[in-house]
Structure 1
Amino acid sequence: MTQRPLGAQISHMLRARGVDVIFGIPGVHNVEMYRGIEEAGITHVLARHEQGAGFMADGYARATSKPGVAYVITGPGLCNTMTPLGQAYSDSVPVLAISSCLDEISAKRGQLHQMLDQAGAARTVCDWSEEARSASAAYQLIDRAFTEFARARPRSKHVQVPIALAGSMAEGAPQPLPSHAKPQAPHAQLYQAVAMVLAAQKPVFVFGGGAVAGADVVGDLMRMSGAASFTTYAGRGIVPAETPLNFGATLARGDTAAIFAQADLVVAVGTELAEVDLWRSDLGHSCPMIRVDLDPSVLAQGKSGDLLIHGDAEAFLRAMAIAIPARTDDRAPCWDAEMVAASKARWRAETDAERPGIVPICAALRAALPEDTMFFSDMTQFAYVAKEVWDMPRPAHWHHPFGFGTLGYALPAAIGGKIGLGHQSVVAIAGDYGFQYTLQELGVAVELELCLPIILWDNGKLKEIEDSMVRSQIAPNAVIARNPDFCKLAEAYGAASARPASLDDMAAEMKKALTRKGPTLIHITPDILGF
């Protein structure tokens, strides 16, 4: 093998494992990591902030189902990307951060970018964080990350390489490891699951983001089993929207607990049924549950009488779709499609009443966009409404910072997603406050001439927090900040901008934005509705 500095060898190793884009910022401590990037044939995207680099890697990973990789420097560089790493961890996104680190921290003080425990800090937001003290250790840790991305619940990882080691000569990395299949459910458990579904009169399936890969068989499975279904927000699009017994992404509606109380079997596939899925302490069921997940810690939440399957959701769904016969007249579903439709209509009206005016804007946007558009949204009321009322025609096409719930996600994540998808339409949706966390990444979108419409929902305040204060009988405080002229700000970066005066104008501006070379900021306020 040809000897090269280790930093260059790592880039070649990543390329051999399918990495074609790295997001990051070079600094004096990680320059050796940049020696081999171009030689390896990898594109580097220069973020404007390490937080942006981490979110871009996250968006790229969600859009492509390939690991996202970020290069950051020692100390503040890694700290700045810890928020994206925490987001990737909570939302099961395969992101690998590779940073430099100081060669010695015990005997020396006052060094540039020095931290007491850099790896330990990253360990608080990652699946794991380790230091490579040799070339072989670096290779093993990177292969460990890629193997776990492929076989286990994908979560963020961090590898740090000492500065001197990154510049030292090293032999090349070993050949990529053979691909590994995800754990498969034992046949005995599959047979038991089939029997339980066939015996149930009112089964309910809940599909989470972990079930996305098996979405193509879900429509048939729901029709054959006669089951009702829900999805988590991350699972939207897994169940075809036109499925009569599909309640949609409405788990957070409080009276869904009464629906689950009627069920005689719940099948939860690829979901941890987290607080951010339910917004209550439990699902509401008293019947047995079949739970399918790659994460043993999720299965550990099961109860006596549950069937807990440690395995790949896709393989489970395909096996079920093959094994379960269509229901006959004497086994007709006991769920009422009219009740399902009425419940969804009621919940839609509740959503519109809680945050008035956003539902019609969602409807107008949906009509103006291609069906395969991929969305990246921020923590904003616009997204909170859309997550419930916007039926997705396909899965894994709406990405949101569900678990960690960070502001500033949408723009850089959409940039990473657009880079990964190429010509496919991508839209970012942000609120006026959260947009300002990472607005500097507009420079990246302009620099790369990315066709990227950015919906900016501007109600002039932290409206969700204001509403929360009012509900808590607290006089609203610290919820209004002076905003810039967002359109001029976008234009200063070289982006296009628009301030539509009506829903028709908004649809027209969106269609224009999808034809432009470069990003377009579309500034929307509640005034667009005329009241």
Structure 2
Amino acid sequence: MTQTRPLGAQISHMLKDRGVDVIFGIPGVHNQEMYRGIEEAGITHVLARHEQGAGFMADGYARASGKPGVAYVITGPGLCNIMTPMGQAYSDSVPVLVISSCLDETVATRGQLHQMKDQRAAAETVCDWSEEARSASAAYALIDRAFGEFETTRKRPKHIQVPIAQLQSQAPTGWDTERSVTGTLNPPHHDVAKVFADSLAAAQKPIFVVGGGAVSAGGPVAEVIRKSGAASFATYAGRGLICDDPLHFGAYLPRPDSAAIFAQADLVVSVGTDLAEVDLWRDELGATCAHIRINTDDEVIAKLGAGDSGFKCDAGLFFDAVLDLMTQEGHSTWKAEDIAASRAHWRAEVDAERPGIVPVCDALRDCVPEGTMIYSDMTQLAYTAKEVWDMDRPGHWHHPTGFGTLGYATPAAIGGAVARPGLPTMAIIGDYGFHYTMAELGVAVELKLPLPIILWDNTKLGEIEDSMVRAQIAPNAVVAHNPDFCKLAEAFGAMAVAPTSLNDMQDVVSAAFDADGPTIIYLTPDILNAS
């Protein structure tokens, strides 16, 4: 006999059947029915302090685990609060599923608790799609649609809202409990792979740009690049895909004179990247040769110029097929010594732009454990590190690159640590960004997460002040009163240390990974003088 439960409880049971082990969220009177079935289904719930924190935790969990991050929120303000993380997940292609309650009707009645004019439409502005489930069967179908699309299309957030009365109504177990929501991506046709392999073999100066969309295909992509003798750049999200390759330019793609490097190429291949403004920080890549785009997004594939071509395909399947067709090593005319000189020049530029921060990045890199997953925020320490910190593996540095949200790092790192128990996770955040989501420190304390949080305090919105000065605007509204961050952390029950030298910092960071809770590691520019 089919078991009947309130739909709110059935949703949690279905999510468990679909592989969900953790849900982030905050209960309220409008979505409490969704909480009826969480424990019974065997799902862990992480209680955020704000829906924005819940969304960032779900994002961080998804990036760390490779599984969709799921969040439960209430009608109206709960959904509005999580829309910022949804926008971040959309721009960075992260699989997040937000399930909210909604009012039963909003046309004939005004003044209801949490009422919005059009909640569903509001959410749709920051996610892939937003739909309302007006029946149990619709809720089940939408959940399976979301999980299926997470596997077969570009991974972007989805929103499902369920009327309160529907959440309370009895519903059968109306989904296929044996179904595995696993998508299938077709490999490229042999002729397509051969066209690409022949083009690559004929090039004298091929150059690749690898992005976050290629992270899961790192091995085959890196091997094709190595075997072809091509040079390469990585976007910030693609760092770690190419390691120990003397023909790799690193993550210096946004350096203005990298355009001159692309002008030398006779073939450009971009893999898993939009080459958007936040990848280049200039209007054009700089190449005048043919450009081959490999992506799963129709919109990206459509950005073709004369002589360009695009292949809509999963990067791993595509490059597996290409590898089978590469019968010999390529011999490009790129020179390792020239690439090393460019990298050294760009590193010096970064150091000159933000004096003294490069040594802090180097010291941090040298003391974190192997395999550390890092979540960074919009802060000058992170901006510097993203260029000069070479990663030894892909998918281990996460930054709010596209939407550019402040306050991302702390809750996202909490989500990442929940996804990888026993493995090292670290956050890097600025003093102003920390204000946005500092309440989530309580979650890390509650969960006893051994999470080092590097808090860079330059007492101001330093990047904005610099930008104002460059624009000949008298700096205004860039300084805010900060609390004593160490005392604040201790009030939450976290540990806090303010090292006075880089050597001290390294010792503190190492100890923080073995602690029984989070540690605020408070750094100011004074540490540069002390070192």
Instruction: Report the TM-score when normalising by structure 1.
Output: 0.98
**Maintained 8 Å contact 2:148/2:181:** no
- Rounded Cα–Cα distance in structure 1 between residues aligned with 2:124 and 2:10: 25
**Maintained 8 Å contact 1:225/1:325:** no
- Rounded Cα–Cα distance in structure 2 between residues aligned with 1:183 and 1:275: 30
2:167 maps to 166
Counterpart pick for 1:188 among 187, 191, 194: 191
1:518 maps to 517
- Rounded Cα–Cα distance in structure 2 between residues aligned with 1:325 and 1:221: 11
1:104 maps to 105
- TM alignment of 1:168-317, pairs within 5 A: 168-175=169-176, 176-240=179-243, 242-317=244-319
SS in structure 2 at match of 1:292: strand
- TM alignment of 1:91-490, pairs within 5 A: 91-175=92-176, 176-240=179-243, 242-327=244-329, 332-490=331-489
**Maintained 8 Å contact 1:193/1:307:** no
Q: What do the CA deviations read for 1:214-263 (whole angstroms, capped 9, x no partner)?
A: 112334322210100011100000001x2010001111000110111111
SS in structure 2 at match of 1:212: helix
Q: What do the CA deviations read for 1:285-319 (whole angstroms, capped 9, x no partner)?
A: 11111111110011111123212101101111222
**Maintained 8 Å contact 1:143/1:177:** no
Q: Pick which of 173-182 and 507-516 moved more.
A: 173-182
Task: Note if 1:37 corresponds to 2:9.
Answer: no
- Tell me by how many angstroms 1:187 deviates: 2.5
- Tell me by how many angstroms 1:371 deviates: 1.8
Q: Give 1:257's aligned amino acid.
A: A
Q: Where does the alignment leave 5 or more consecutive residues of structure 2 unmatched?
A: none
SS in structure 2 at match of 1:438: helix
Q: Give 1:141's aligned amino acid.
A: L
- Rounded Cα–Cα distance in structure 2 between residues aligned with 1:145 and 1:392: 32
SS in structure 2 at match of 1:188: helix
- Tell me by how many angstroms 1:324 deviates: 1.7
**Maintained 8 Å contact 1:223/1:326:** no
Q: Give 1:113's aligned amino acid.
A: H
**Maintained 8 Å contact 2:18/2:181:** no
Q: Give 2:433's aligned amino acid.
A: G
- Rounded Cα–Cα distance in structure 1 between residues aligned with 2:319 and 2:381: 33
- Tell me by how many angstroms 1:173 deviates: 3.3
281 and 183 in structure 1: CA distance in 2 versus 1, 3 angstrom threshold? farther
2:19 maps to 18
- Rounded Cα–Cα distance in structure 1 between residues aligned with 2:328 and 2:451: 44
Q: Give 1:89's aligned amino acid.
A: Y
1:61 maps to 62
C-alpha RMSD of matched pairs (Å):
0.9
Q: Give 2:408's aligned amino acid.
A: Y
Q: Where does the alignment leave 5 or more consecutive residues of structure 1 unmatched?
A: none
2:508 maps to 509
- Rounded Cα–Cα distance in structure 1 between residues aligned with 2:450 and 2:11: 32
Q: What do the CA deviations read for 1:300-343 (whole angstroms, capped 9, x no partner)?
A: 1112321210110111122222322333xxx6320011000000
293 and 183 in structure 1: CA distance in 2 versus 1, 3 angstrom threshold? farther
- Rounded Cα–Cα distance in structure 2 between residues aligned with 1:100 and 1:413: 24
Q: What do the CA deviations read for 1:171-206 (whole angstroms, capped 9, x no partner)?
A: 113123552212433332211101100110000011
Q: What do the CA deviations read for 1:363-403 (whole angstroms, capped 9, x no partner)?
A: 11111111200000000011100000000000000000000
Q: Give 2:112's aligned amino acid.
A: Q
**Maintained 8 Å contact 2:187/2:321:** no
SS in structure 1 at match of 2:46: strand
**Maintained 8 Å contact 1:229/1:245:** yes
Q: What do the CA deviations read for 1:86-130 (whole angstroms, capped 9, x no partner)?
A: 000000000000000000100000000000000000000000000
- Rounded Cα–Cα distance in structure 2 between residues aligned with 1:282 and 1:85: 29
